[in-house]
A and B are shown apart, each in its own frame.
Chain A
Amino acid sequence: MQTVKMVVTGPFSAGKTQFIQSVSEIDVVATERKISSDSERAVKDATTVAMDFGRITVDEDLVLYLFGTPGQKRFDFMWEILSEGMLGFIVMVDSTRPETFREARSILETFRAYAPTPYVVAANKQDVKDAWELEDMRHALRLDARTKLLPCVATNKKQVKAVLLELLYSILAEMESGK
């Protein structure tokens, strides 16, 4: 049995767990705990403290694992462990919470430094009225024109698939360019 993995990262409450749940064939093994901080509880009730774990079986010989990282900075010691040997990574950003953009940028830079692997940025909650437009987000996140910034709704399987496919196309393109 061959296994490969992708990592889904991003700030607290960006939608990472939901993203994995939308495509995983198993119930996501989520290590969630009730939130104790008042400010964080105002956003959601439970958060990932170790990792989320989803699976997509390709065939009897190949399985893709999706790992979701905990969003809070105090768990960043987990990030490097989870990023080891990943095919690529997805940075989830909540399009309606510009106060998290700076942190998203920081997480992106941290992961870029861990592993020089392909990545895409998913602008989550694009279906919400207050969502920032992609081009504005690109400037705020300081993404260059080559970086794929994709609209996403983490509860929408079709859009989650599109994000995963874009990452795989990037990996394939890198393989082709580095023949």
Chain B
Amino acid sequence: MALRGNLRDFTITQLLNLINLAQKTGTLIVDGPSEQAYVSFREGKLAYARIGQEDGSLASVLHKANKLNVNQYRAIAERSGRMTDKELGLLLINAGYVSQEDILLNLQTHFTDVIRRLFTWVEGFFRFENEILPPEDRINVRLDLENLIIEGSRQLREWEQLQDEIPSLDMALKFTDRPMTNLNLSVDEWRVVKYIDPKNTMKQIAAAAKLNDMEIRRIVYGLIQAGLVEMVRPVNVAVQLNPKMFPTQDKEEQRTLINKLIGRIQKL
């Protein structure tokens, strides 16, 4: 039977474990909330990974790792044309820009980062295609999955704990009344703090600060633990009475209904 299903029932960590144990070759395709991920394996080892339309080319990976400067990156992007990553890699090694080790190490780091991001996906559908092999024009690596699986399991536990603490990102945040002194906040925490306002939901803050669900929860949890903020209902949906709550839409009748309930319960 085809390996396909829902991430709610089968987590990324469990999938990697299965691929590792069965020493599978093929590509895992995951349809996440807003993007699609392609992760290729050879005999149970990670070979290649890409999320969405991100440029995972060798030139881009080396540029992000500061192995190529902006001018070199632009020149390569303009001139490489139809050159494959394998050809480009050879060219760069022969020209003395990078070593073979640099290339493999940076690609491994890049693919590992893609998998780390995948660990934060808890919604979506997956399928494993035996026929789709790692792309020929890209440099493949052979990365053992064991450490990634252990890291994924840890992250999953953290995710479950964060979900318990902050079940919904539709709530807003407000600063507590307690005075705060000598707070050392990280750059990411500042990015969240600057948007804290009872009008903004955590979902909106995450979008503005370009953080995923896991990252925003982790930061907010830290801020709550430090006593800096507390969760509140967003101001624009402050306590309101949903029309569905009452069998009548007439305000006076609704008031009468509540008073009747009060009277009845008092008499119980």
Residues of A within 8 A of B (CB): 2-4, 23, 56-59, 62, 64, 84-87, 102-103, 105-106, 109-110, 112-113, 115-118, 142, 144, 157, 161, 164-165, 168-169, 171-172, 174-175, 178-179
Contacts and interface: CB of A to CB of B under 8 A. Distances in A.
B194 interface: no
A172 B258 CA distance: 7
Contacts of A3: 247
B259 A172 contact: yes
Contact of B242 (A56, A115, A175): A115
Contacts, number: 100
A167 to B, nearest CB: 10
A56 B264 contact: yes
5 contacts: A3-B247, A142-B224, A144-B230, A157-B268, A168-B258
A178 B245 contact: no
B77 interface: no
Interface residues of B, number: 36
Contact of A178 (B170, B240, B259, B268): B240
B6 interface: no
A65 B10 CA distance: 38
Nearest to B164: A106
Contacts of A172: 255, 258-259, 262
Contact of B166 (A64, A109, A144): A109
B181 interface: no
A102 B240 CA distance: 26
A25 B169 CA distance: 39
A117 B46 CA distance: 49
A168 B262 contact: yes
A178 B164 contact: no
B242 A169 contact: no
A62 B242 CA distance: 18
Contact of B241 (A23, A109, A168, A178): A178
Interface of B: 164-168, 170-171, 224, 230-231, 233, 237-242, 244-248, 251, 254-255, 257-266, 268
Given A4-B245, A4-B246, A106 B165 contact: yes
Contacts of B166: 109
Contact of B265 (A56, A59, A85, A175): A56
Nearest to B160: A73
Nearest to B259: A172
B204 to A, nearest CB: 14
Contacts of B242: 85, 115-117
B200 to A, nearest CB: 15
Given A144-B230, A164-B265, A113 B244 contact: no
